[in-house]
A = this chain, B = another copy of it.
């Protein structure tokens, strides 16, 4: 039963679920999540759009698969880290894992919004949370407090927070700064804050709202939460 072989198909890698997800990630990396269409993913794989439906049920399945693929990337990145000394405590291990997750996320700016839009949690994500839960348990957290901890960390455990003030690339910082100055009388506190903690930022188009360092803020809040959890553990 020698199956006929498509003369073009034999010169390209066969389509698989995994390759569909990776192609989708490449499309999103290149053009943002709005550019992610079935037709573009198919293009990326050198295949007709309808072929995708042989491998995945629909677009939602691709979005779910992208999330799982990125969680696997995080787990791989954590695996490549130098092993921690036996003396390392839970906070060190968890903190390092979370900042590694953040490294992965920073390479896919569209990912946070995608993660938060999904409602189905896949097996890779489940295992990720199970591992984090294990770290907390090693840190002598009760299941009850560990459960609270997962809620407290939220998406931060995967290395991101969805910033409400995220500036998109369309609107320049000069523009938002100008809009802000126009409302100065209605925003007495924000205006004063801008002047006090970042007078230099008024002409610095590099920084988000003129004065935020996302990485520093991420770590500040992360430590606030980790320290708060530790304190609760030790006083309970």
Q: A96 contacts the other chain (Cβ, under 8 Å)?
A: no
Q: A10 contacts the other chain (Cβ, under 8 Å)?
A: no
A116 engages B113 (CB within 8 Å): yes
Interface string of A222-235 (1 = CB under 8 A from B): 00110111001000
Among the listed B123, B158, B220, which residue makes an inter-chain contact with A183, where contact means beta carbons less than 8 Å apart? B123
29 contacts between A and B (CB under 8 A): A113-B116, A113-B117, A115-B164, A116-B164, A117-B117, A120-B171, A121-B164, A126-B186, A126-B187, A126-B190, A127-B183, A127-B186, A134-B188, A134-B189, A143-B193, A144-B197, A146-B193, A147-B193, A148-B221, A151-B221, A152-B220, A152-B224, A154-B161, A154-B164, A155-B162, A155-B164, A162-B162, A224-B229, A225-B225
> Chain A: how many interface residues by the 8 Å CB criterion?
59
- One complex includes copies of this chain to the number of 2
Q: A140 contacts the other chain (Cβ, under 8 Å)?
A: no
